[in-house]
Every structure is written in structure tokens, then in C-alpha cells.
Amino acid sequence: MALLTILEYPDARLKRIAAPVTEFTPAIKKLVDDMAHTMYEAPGIGLAATQVDVHKRVIVIDTSEAKNDLKVFINPEIIVADGEIVGEEGCLSVPEYYESVRRAAHVVVRAHDVTGKSFELEATELLAVCIQHEMDHLKGIVFVEHLSQLKQIRIKNKMKKRHREAERV
Ligand code: NI
């Protein structure tokens, strides 16, 4: 398994729209394995293919405490969304930054697994939030883009400073 490089906001590649997966090939299986490995190593609870510069509709999530409940969503679609929840979110593409975002509290998502089999999953709380956050990535949206313009400018500046400092090392 390979460790993939995670793009950091405001990298323009995070704005690309992911294309549906049409063939469930060994390459897709490898992508999923590498994404899961990268997410666990980070460590994070979710990762979208967009974040590793692969513009396909693939998401991996594991919100379990024991990190033993990997969920893979390929071509995910939200078919039910209701209620409201405001929770603090973070993102592997925006390290060390956390902010509250409003999301649907309950979702039903329909997706394919890595073999191409279709399934539906009902989610609430953290898992529901995580699914919506990762699906945003596939649309080219980073969670900070749900915040005020002022906060977005602030975080952009903070990230630019972080990237300048990283270059200096
Ligand atoms: Ni994210």
C-alpha cells in the first residue's frame, strides 16, 4: 500500500469536480486501499479521492473509535437528508483548523462498494457529517467554503504562511 500525498487548501486542484467511476477495476481497488492507508496514517476519519489528486467519486471513512470499520463509498448519492446538526469539523487538507459547520443530521446515502455492488446506508451524527463533508470534496468544495468570507481569507492567509514555512525547512 502506498501513502498518498494530500493536497492542502487552497490548492486549485481541490476545486476539481470528480467523475463517476464506471469500471470497478483492480486500479480502483488499489486506489481505495491506498486512500484508506493514507487516511489511517494521517490520522483522519475520512478522505475523498479529490484530496489525493484523483478526480473520481471515491470516498473512504472510518469514524469508529477502534479504527476497524472502514466504509467505502463509490459514486455516492444522498437520497434522503433531513434535520440539522452543527458540529466542529476539520479536514486533512486544512491541517490544524477546526470550525463549526451546519449539516443535515440524518442522511441516507446510496453508493457502490469496491466490487461495484450498490448499497444504501443510513447515517446520523458524526458519520452523517463526515459523509457530507467528503461528498463536498467530490464537488470541489472544502468545508471552509461554508464559512464567512472573512474566515476564509483568514484561513487562506494562515495556510499560505504554513506553506511558506514548510518551504523554508
Ligand atoms: Ni476534508
What pLDDT score was predicted for residue 74? Answer: 98
Q: Which helix (H) or strand (E) holds 166?
A: helix 149-168
pLDDT score at 152: 96
CA angle, 78 then 105 then 128, to 5°: 55
Through-space distance between the first and last CA atoms of the chain, rounded to whole angstroms: 28
Q: Is 63 exposed, middle or buried (0-12, 13-18, 19+ CB in 10 A)?
A: middle
- Strands of the 71-82 sheet, one edge to the other: 46-48, 58-61, 71-82, 106-112, 118-124
Q: What angle do CA 110, 7, 63 make, to 5 degrees?
A: 45
Distance 21 CA to ligand 1 centre (A): 20
> What's the pLDDT score for residue 167?
87
How far apart CA 153 and CA 103 sit, in angstroms, is 22
Residue-range domains of the chain with CATH: 12-168 (3.90.45.10)
Calculate how far, in angstroms, residue 40's C-alpha sits from the geometric centre of ligand 1.
14
Q: Are 110 and 118 in contact (CB under 8 A)?
A: yes
pLDDT digits (tens, 9 = 90+) for 37-79: 999 999 999 999 999 999 999 999 999 999 999 999 999 999 9
Q: What whole-number distance in Å separates Cα of residue 63 and Cα of residue 66?
A: 9
Write down the catalytic residue from 23, 77, 99, 134: 134
Cα distances (Å, whole numbers) of residue 39 to 52, 83, 104, 110: 10, 28, 24, 22
**Spatial separation of the C-alpha atoms in residues 42 and 30, rounded to whole Å:** 18
- Residue 133 C-alpha to ligand 1 middle, in angstroms? 6
Distance 142 CA to ligand 1 centre (A): 6
Ligand 1 centre distance from Cα of residue 117 (Å): 25
Q: What's the CA-to-centroid distance between 150 and ligand 1, angstroms?
A: 20
134: annotated active-site residue: yes
pLDDT tens by residue, the chain, 169 residues:
899 999 999 999 999 999 999 999 999 999 999 999 999 999 999 999 999 999 999 999 999 999 999 999 999 999 999 999 999 999 999 999 999 999 999 999 999 999 999 999 999 999 999 999 999 999 999 999 999 999 999 999 999 999 999 888 7
